[in-house]
Structure 1
């Protein structure tokens, strides 16, 4: 990272710490409210908060037609598909394991950036990625063997996690487009979150019926944390890192997030470490570090 510390390191640390905590909060959101409604509430609050932030900074919220189309596509990928997949994946897998699958974000980000923008992918990066995938496979094998429900449910959780991962990666790489650099990020994110929450609401109405709200304090505080800290604070920082560093390098935070998330899962969800799981986590982190070092070079 050659950028100034204030411009890169501080946002990187904030994004990593906040997003590490959001995985366990998402888990708590699954008790009584259908996932699509929880996602809708999160990004409705996030969109309002982002809009207020833009107004406070005197950033115009009005976008040209092509800007609204871009925001809508970004909202569909990031705030509809990605999070609907994530919330459902946590029905079947612990939050730490889902976060560990998301540690592979560096891989599709770099590959899609190579396809779209011809950013190079080295042999060392490919080797590191394969090591990481092997580690993730061992973690998931442990989940498959110890599944409290059916092993098929674990496979479904994995499939949902991967679908969410690819949706998030598509949204990440969109930040490398010329239009993303030309438009005010706060305005784009405001509309992306609001349009995304509207699509979430329509989908929820069609699939599960009218809005459901759990008035439990933990649920409401969770929505507030996810909507403000986990969305309004982090997404501008993270997408700013993508535009400055590239989608592959910005995803280095995904190396650290699952480590912290797995520790939280151990404390809160009583995740039990086995030799297989420990080896898998070690390989996943080692592989990502190898890929990181190679990409940095």
Structure 2
């Protein structure tokens, strides 16, 4: 079952980055994200009601759902959507693949779990990989501040996502029901975003173009209702750190789609950067150890 959840999450979230890019334009980011989670919350709540699987949550549970909304269903996506205005969606996904490293840092700060030397080596390798990925922009004569702005926004989105992982893991340890908690969290996230839009006097209307509407429905139903629940189910089954393994594979899907639909151009430096990002994550999680043992046994 874990393998199924893992595979579904990788392919769904690997493709959502391109759908996010299709939503960019005249519609404010806060409005697009707000409607995405409003639709997702309504659909999930209706499905749970039909199945008679919508228990009443306690006040403490709703507080936890509100905290999860701020981390996982609002602020993180504000940063991710905004970053996609300055970065190809595939590169945004590569930065997001550093989420396991953010998880380890947050667990170190919050739960005093000191990282190992393997983590430090992997984190440095991954960071160098990100620098190489954007090296062509750094070296470009016409480079401007937007590349740094896009990187900063993407890093902030990844940080909020990481905090959401930890909140969700704690909620599930307290035996909060996964689907109802997710449904309410998405609703709270949508309410928070739409209130921001109203305060900023932004129009809540959305474009009626086929591209925008199809991206919105895909992100709300496939990316949110299905994608988030498969991922959070993994968090509950195997823990936040191991569940974040799948973020390492998102860029493979996202960069492939970005190359096909956004005209992303590869260089030898960007290819080396992707390899280093993957290698860094593999080092953090010990993926290299079976290979090392196999090589030692073969050589002996």
TM-score w.r.t. length of structure 2: 0.91
Q: Does the residue aligned with 1:182 lie in a helix, a strand or coil?
A: coil
Q: Deviations over 1:87-131 (max 9, x none)?
A: 000010110111000010000112223443455632212212211
1:72 corresponds to which residue? 66
Say how many residue pairs are matched: 290
Identify if the C-alpha distance between structure 1 residues 99 and 60 changes in structure 2 by more than 3 Å, giving closer, same or farther: same
Aligned equivalent of 2:285, options 281, 285, 292: 292
Give the corresponding residue for 2:128: 134
Gaps of 5+ in 2: 291-300
Q: Note the C-alpha offset of 1:15.
A: 0.4
The secondary structure found in structure 1 opposite 2:179 is: helix
Moved over 6 A (4+): none
CA distance in 1, matches of 2:145, 2:139: 11
Alignment correspondent of 1:125: 119
Query: Equivalences for 1:209-248 in 2 at 5 Å?
Result: 209-248=202-241
Q: Are the aligned partners of 1:86 and 1:164 in contact in 2 as well (CA < 8 Å)?
A: yes
Q: 2:49 aligns with which of 48, 51, 55?
A: 55
Question: CA shift at 1:242, angstroms?
Answer: 1.1
Q: Is contact 1:121-1:295 (8 Å) kept?
A: no
Alignment deviations for residues 8-49 of structure 1 (CA, whole Å, 9 cap, x no partner):
100000000000110000001002211111001100011012
Q: Is the 8 A contact 1:113 1:247 kept in 2?
A: no
Q: In 2, Cα distance between the equivalents of 1:131 and 1:17?
A: 25
Correspondence 1:251 to 2:244: yes
Q: Cα distance, 1:205 vs. partner?
A: 2.0
TM superposition shift of 1:179: 5.9
Give the Cα separation in 1 of the matches to 2:57 and 2:253: 38
Q: Does the C-alpha gap of structure 1 residues 168 and 44 become closer, same or farther in structure 2, counting only changes over 3 Å?
A: same
Q: Secondary structure at the match of 1:282?
A: helix
Are residues 55 and 286 of structure 1, via their aligned partners in 2, closer, same or farther at CA, if it must alter by over 3 Å?
same
C-alpha separation in 1, matches of 2:288 and 2:193: 36
Alignment counterpart, residue 160 of structure 1, candidates 130, 153, 166: 153
How many Å separate the matches in 1 of 2:161 and 2:184?
17
Spell out, residue by residue over 1:190-249, the C-alpha distance to the aligned partner (whole angstroms, 9 max, x if none): 111111101110112223522131000111111110001100001111111112212111
Please state whether the residue corresponding to 1:151 is helix, strand or coil: coil
> Among 126, 129, 137, which residue is 1:143 paired with?
137
> Does the 8 Å contact 2:282/2:288 carry over to 1?
no
Instruction: Classify the secondary structure of the residue corresponding to 1:52.
Output: helix
Tell me how far apart the structure 1 counterparts of residues 178 and 264 of structure 2 sit (CA, whole Å). Answer: 38
- TM-score, with length taken from structure 1: 0.92
What is the distance in 2 between the residues matched to 1:63 and 1:243? 18
CA distance in 2, matches of 1:289, 1:180: 27
